[in-house]
A and B are shown apart, each in its own frame.
Chain A
Amino acid sequence: MVDQETPLLEIRDLSVNFRVYGGVLRVLDRINFHVLQGERVGLVGETGCGKTTTMKTILQVLPTPPAEVPQGEIWFQGQDVMTMSQRELVNMRGQGISMIFQDPTAALNPVFTVGQQLTAVIRYASPENRNLNNAQLRERALEALRQVALADPERLLDSYPIQLSGGMRQRVCIGMALSTRPGLLIADEPGTALDVTIQDQVLRLLQDLVEQQGNSFILITHTLGIVRQMTDRVYVMYAGNMVEVAPTQRLFTNPLHPYTQGLMDAVPRLTGGGISEGIPGRIPDYMNPPAGCRFSGRCPHAMPVCNREKPPVFQVQGPADESHAVACFLYDEPHKVSNYKAELQPV
């Protein structure tokens, strides 16, 4: 169940820069993000918008330098991640947060068996696990493989990743991620490297497991359809900014930010209707991002104010009390668009 009160993970005003030869790349620009206990959250955006950088910052695995965090806070289970000691970070990554990566082939080490990798993960997940003997570890590893519906787990433990198909490897990765019983599971494009029928199986499995175990879940993807299937609430990211957040159903029926609208419009439909032109232009240069809204150069509704100022986040009160927020001047009172009958409350 979703606990409305306590955020499990909260990011406040986080910025991340990369110092490279020739300047500073301002990749994340004051983003806010939270995940409640038991909530399934989607993070959508196109290549290079900062989705993965956000997750790496949470896990504190960004190489610094070149990365630096000039401002912002990250709170996980009531603890400040930025001030954690190395030992606390290791425990957070083991028991607190697990991650599933896009390419299972790269995520598994080719020279160790599945069993060796899986037991190592379990052993170092928590201090008490370090006292488990080999038989107990093996039992835990078998259990992890059984829950991801892999046939013949005994034999699998002694196989090398190369002996498995792509779908099986991703199942192993899911089993591995869940074997530490994490409070938060992050999946970064978990189906993208797989064929569509296999992706469907893997995502269904992931969805069932998250539901069973009640983990909080962050799904990072650029495929809107997958987010629609698997999450409760969605954040839309563009060029290092969070541009919109809404409950999933609501975002898909009533997208507000021009970028979200453009993105949804650009996806070809199975029902036909032709191919939309997409969004003109390209993502801005992170070295010299626009002073105002980072989308203004491509936005069909851009106004003079958009080039000058960074839009604040406007809370849009829709039907019921679903919280829908959008960072766009169109939803500021003086520029309010007429076709949306909502109460607008600048925050």
Chain B
Amino acid sequence: MSDDIILRVENLRKHFIVGRKGLIKREPVTVKAVDGVSFNVRRGETFGIVGESGSGKSTIAYITMGMYLPTSGTITFNGRDLFGQGDRRPLDLRKEVQIVFQDPGSSLNPRRTIRQILELPLSIHQPEKDRLTEIIRLLELVDLPPEFMHKYPRQLSGGERQIVAIARALATNPSLVILDEPTSALDVSVQGKVLNLLIRLQRELNLTYMFITHDLSVMRNLASRVAIMYLGRVAEVAEAVHFFESPQHPYTQMLLSSIPVLTEAEEALRPAQIRSTGEIPSPVDLPSGCSFHTRCPQVMDHCRHIDPLMVPIDVTGSDHIVRCHLFEQANGQVSS
């Protein structure tokens, strides 16, 4: 079944040096933005990554894009190592992975027309094609009228700008698109239009999405599988349905119980017994053992010292992986 995996992330680490301490040794102070993350993205799915600020979700996106080099670990795309040649990623690999950023107000150059914005990726990746017809095709693909190409980003609404950013990502004909909080800068009445466009494009173009958000309600309706991150590590990975109906990790439960909801039916879904407590620790000074132990309502003694392993659990009858000591015991495994 390995050929249906488009992106394989293994033991990925990214540590940023943010300063030095000590007078003589000058030991580096590091932020472990991503610290040992592994997951697979299957072809054609929408793989969701959820987490609060500082959990490392955007860092994973940027590494996948090639904006950072990982400290260690590998990412393979269709069996090819994305960092086989350091940061000089071959053009044919670059075209396969594209990204849509959170804020189209800053990801689109205000001094370029939409036409110029869309021309750049075309001229690099498809120099042989006629650019004007390609631009018209792209705009049609995302339901924008062709005359939009003469406009500047400031003449468009927030939703339209984000749609242009999506068109730019699609210009290279990618197979994996990373969506980094694509709708969090938009109003809720506009968000639906953009999300539905993404759903349609995925179907028509056979795209795979890596969808990053902190909005769990959006995730529920869009993702096929969800990974939840806390302080640079994955806490739980599961099929979206199981993730929301039977969340296992205490952090997932806390997160779900914190969401403000609109209906009684949604309220019933929230694990009410878990109340959010405590502060999110600083990523510079991570707690020992399980990094969630400072806030966990079910904390045990060894959680403070031993880092839990990712263990598959069989509650829901499908792939469901949890990184928590509660489940290691249930499976009779002991981590060293």
User: For the complex, is B327 an interface residue (Cβ under 8 Å from A)?
Assistant: no
Residues of A within 8 A of B255 (CB): 196-197
User: For the complex, is A40 an interface residue (Cβ under 8 Å from B)?
Assistant: no
Residues of B within 8 A of A195 (CB): 52-53, 214, 280
User: For the complex, is B195 an interface residue (Cβ under 8 Å from A)?
Assistant: yes
Residues A196 and B258 in contact in the complex (CB < 8 Å), given A46-B188, A165-B279: yes
- When the two chains form their complex, are residues A270 and B52 in contact, meaning their CB atoms are under 8 A apart? no
Residues of B within 8 A of A280 (CB): 193
The residue in chain A whose Cβ has the minimal distance to the Cβ of B260 is A225
Question: How far apart sit A279 and B196, CA to CA, in the bound complex (Å)?
Answer: 12
Chain B interfacial residues counted at CB < 8 A: 43
Question: How far apart sit A195 and B277, CA to CA, in the bound complex (Å)?
Answer: 12
- When the two chains form their complex, are residues A278 and B189 in contact, meaning their CB atoms are under 8 A apart? yes
User: For the complex, is B28 an interface residue (Cβ under 8 Å from A)?
Assistant: no
User: For the complex, is A269 an interface residue (Cβ under 8 Å from B)?
Assistant: yes
- When the two chains form their complex, are residues B276 and A229 in contact, meaning their CB atoms are under 8 A apart? no
Q: Mark B252-270, 1 if CB is under 8 A from A, else 0.
A: 0011111111110110011
Query: What total of A-B pairs shows CB separation below 8 Å?
Result: 125
User: For the complex, is B272 an interface residue (Cβ under 8 Å from A)?
Assistant: no
Residues of A within 8 A of B260 (CB): 203, 223-226, 228-229
Question: How far apart sit A280 and B280, CA to CA, in the bound complex (Å)?
Answer: 39
Among B215, B221, B270: residue with most chain A CB under 10 A: B221
Residues A278 and B191 in contact in the complex (CB < 8 Å), given A267-B217, A270-B217: yes
Residues of B within 8 A of A252 (CB): 262-263
Question: How far apart sit A133 and B262, CA to CA, in the bound complex (Å)?
Answer: 48
Least Cβ distance of B151 to chain A in Å?
14
- When the two chains form their complex, are residues A201 and B277 in contact, meaning their CB atoms are under 8 A apart? yes
Question: How far apart sit A223 and B258, CA to CA, in the bound complex (Å)?
Answer: 13
- When the two chains form their complex, are residues A262 and B189 in contact, meaning their CB atoms are under 8 A apart? yes
Residues of A within 8 A of B192 (CB): 266, 268, 275-278
Least Cβ distance of B72 to chain A in Å?
28
Residues of A within 8 A of B217 (CB): 267-270
**Which residues from 102 to 120 on chain A have a C-beta closer than 8 Å to any C-beta of chain B?**
none
User: For the complex, is B97 an interface residue (Cβ under 8 Å from A)?
Assistant: no
Query: What are 12 A-to-B residue pairs whose CB atoms are below 8 Å?
Result: A168-B279, A195-B53, A197-B254, A197-B258, A200-B259, A203-B260, A266-B189, A269-B220, A270-B270, A274-B221, A275-B222, A278-B191
4 further contact pairs, Cβ within 8 A, besides A271-B266, A282-B159? A229-B260, A266-B189, A270-B261, A270-B270
Binding site for B on A (CB under 8 A): 46-47, 165, 167-168, 195-201, 203-204, 222-226, 228-229, 252, 262-264, 266-280, 282
